Chain A
Amino acid sequence: MSEAPPATPLRERAGRALKDTFLQEALTIATTKFIDLRREAFDEFPEGEALRDRARAIKEATLQGLDHYLGLLIDNVERRGGHVHYATTAEEARQIVLDIARSTDARMAVKSKSMATEEIHLNSALEAAGVTPVETDLGEYIIQLAHERPSHIIAPAIHKTKGQVAELFARELKRETVPDPEVLTRIARAELREKFLQADIGISGANFGVAETGTIVLVTNEGNGRMVTSLPRVHVAVMGVEKVIPSMTDLAVFLAILAKSATGQKLSVYTSLVNGPRRGGELEGPEEFHLVLLDNGRIRQIAGPLREALYCLRCGACLNVCPVYRQIGGHAYGYTYPGPIGILLTAMLNGPESVKDLAHASSLCGACADACPVRIDIPKMLIELRRDVGERRIAPWPERVVFGGFGRLLQRPALYRLAARTGRVLQRPFVSRGAIRRLPLFFGDWTRTRDLPPIAARTFQERWADLEREGHR
């Protein structure tokens, strides 16, 4: 169990998000923009579909040889003078990073965007140990100042207005400023430039780990990934085990589709390949390089129902197209990873009970699977999670009773037809002007906002005899 469950129920969190008018507007603008950019990028990239199939195959092939590829990666990282550490749990991962920080006397750590470090709640552990973590990705920097968590996998501060950011900077940085993104960006650049140059330790994630060469790959736009991996004297990369890929030839396949899926760019501004610590003759580069391989629930899924979720590139495309995410935003999910893939990852990290409600935060529309660069069948796994919850009796008993009854009804046509006739009688008080507008109990969940058709005076089955006769005439 990695994360504590949220304090309020999902429906309440969703309700709050729906009432937040700025969030609603921000979500619509941002997700629509990402959707359009992605569509344009793939429209002018006909090889894209075949590359998606290739990318999916590479991910599956890697899992089929995971011990071999990780072994290669480890050997190569060590050959280049890097150190590799093995973290089975989030706790262990935190401990490893703290030990490295302690052994190098670090006081301040600059971080480039890493969902893996969010997942293990690294920042609070660093702070508690007297190491100041500074997020350097602009969006992460903003939410760090605001003491919030990211609300989108790649655009963490998408829920904030420029006015809110300006206020935040004024309050936390003691700088008067204007709600202008250019100005705010310049302020962040200056503040963070100092930190990059003074930091003792740089902490990053890894988008890929290339086994054949022992190379860690970071995909970024701002330049903070390069700073974090070149300026401080120690660099620590925290990488989920599923990020390993076999070769540089494979890397090219992923690079061709990753940025396009995330933001519609052909490539992100910087793709940084890290081959261990500084080599002789270089002016920059860390003296020490550490790779922390993270399990935290991933390894169990190699043979588990969520195996396919291990293909995830963390591009965020599924969030952008999800009708639920687009309405409620990231925070309402209540865990580190939001959106469709987020539900699967939450189950992976925290167990299926943690998603007994979240697994239903989906209309199963399938837009996510369509958008996913590696074609992860997210709806299928959501249904599996629901099955886990339903058949393992974790679902609340009234629901199990209703579905159990329904299941029996559907296997007994006489009972089914009786239910229709009974329903027709029971509904009478509620039918007005041809529709049902108010129903008691949980049925009211529909009728509060929508009308309902009444059960027909004669169902199709009841009309069939006449229809059959009509056909014979």
Chain B
Amino acid sequence: MVTCLGDMFYPEVGEKIVRLLRALSVVVEFPAGQTCCGLPLFNSGYHTDAAAVARRTVALFKDAEAVVVPSGSCAWMVKHEYPGLMTDPHDRAAAERLAGRTHELSQFLVKKLGRRRFRSAVAGRVTYHDSCHLLRGLHESESPRTLLRGLAGAEFVELPGGDECCGFGGSFSVRLPEVSTAILDKKLANVEATGADCVVACDAGCLMQMRGGLSRRGSRVRALHLAEVLGEPQ
């Protein structure tokens, strides 16, 4: 699942993931006609439309053995919210099947494939921002860290307040932009204080927010997706 943000704005991340999975001998398929998991509709309360999008998505992936998602929030939406959105019991069963087969990228690499060590595609110091849906929705804080600590050629440092929100929150970022920015500023101050060369996240929304702020302030720190720092498997 490439996700809407991934498809439109970060296609290179999608490409990296495909190549990475192939390097790990995974056969990668891409069902055509993907749009979005429906999370933005869901979060803003448009549940009828969100349910329609969910049904569509479930149908698109019905033959997949495993679905890898580069964003924690989209993976959460599929695993956590899809079944509840379905009123029809058949739809619900199909959604539950999909939920069981869906994995966020770091979870897939570490827990499903058992791969922990990669060459680092970046040099220097790397820190990690826990995206809210991955951390609290999917209870996942270890897999990304396992991968980042295992990077050959880069140094990992913990981010103080790493578990604090970056301020994206979907439409929140434009409904209350000043508050969203104030939260972001706090996050970026923490990032810069680590002396890291890049901050890694497993969510396109967080990346859009953090990269947008870093770029605006002319920072030399880069905000990268996990897939962008994973080089050759070791």
Q: Do chains A and B touch in the complex (CB under 8 A)?
A: yes
A14 to B179, Cβ gap below 8 A? yes
| B1-59 with Cβ < 8 A to chain A | 2, 4, 6-12, 14-15, 18, 22, 27-28, 30, 32-36, 38, 40-50, 52-53, 56
Other-chain contact of B52, A323, A324, A411, A464 (Cβ < 8 Å): A411
Other-chain contact of A403, B34, B49, B212 (Cβ < 8 Å): B49
Other-chain contact of A435, B2, B176, B178, B215 (Cβ < 8 Å): B215
B177 to A409, Cβ gap below 8 A? no
Q: Is A387 an interface residue (CB 8 A)?
A: yes
A18 to B179, Cβ gap below 8 A? yes
| B59-86 with Cβ < 8 A to chain A | none
State A452–B96 Cα separation when bound (angstroms). 35
In the complex formed, the residue of B with least CB distance to A386 is: B45
A452 with B212: in contact, given A323-B167, A461-B7 (CB under 8 Å)?
Answer: yes
Chain A window 197-226, contacts with chain B (Cβ cutoff 8 Å), 1 for yes, 0 for no: 000000000000000000000000000000
Other-chain contact of A323, B32, B38, B183 (Cβ < 8 Å): B183
User: Would you give the shortest CB distance from A53 to chain B, in whole angstroms?
Assistant: 16
A453 with B10: in contact, given A386-B45, A390-B46 (CB under 8 Å)?
Answer: yes
State A95–B163 Cα separation when bound (angstroms). 47
B32 to A461, Cβ gap below 8 A? yes
A403 to B46, Cβ gap below 8 A? yes
State A364–B40 Cα separation when bound (angstroms). 12
B136 to A450, Cβ gap below 8 A? no
Other-chain contact of A413, B28, B33, B136, B165 (Cβ < 8 Å): B33
In the complex formed, the residue of A with least CB distance to B42 is: A383
A460 to B174, Cβ gap below 8 A? no
Other-chain contact of A363, B49, B178, B183 (Cβ < 8 Å): B183
B52 to A383, Cβ gap below 8 A? no
User: Would you give the shortest CB distance from A468 to chain B, in whole angstroms?
Assistant: 7
Residue of B7, B56, B180, B215 with most partner-chain A CB within 10 A: B7
State A451–B43 Cα separation when bound (angstroms). 24
- Residues of B within 8 Å of A471, CB to CB, are 18, 22, 27-28
State A459–B56 Cα separation when bound (angstroms). 21
Chain B window 90-123, contacts with chain A (Cβ cutoff 8 Å), 1 for yes, 0 for no: 0000000000000000000000000000000000
Q: Is B132 an interface residue (CB 8 A)?
A: yes
State A456–B38 Cα separation when bound (angstroms). 21
B7 to A407, Cβ gap below 8 A? no
- Residues of B within 8 Å of A390, CB to CB, are 44-46
B183 to A450, Cβ gap below 8 A? no
B8 to A420, Cβ gap below 8 A? yes
| A389-428 with Cβ < 8 A to chain B | 389-391, 395, 403-404, 406-411, 413, 416, 420, 423
5 nearest A-B residue pairs (beta carbon) = A363-B169, A407-B49, A450-B212, A386-B45, A387-B45
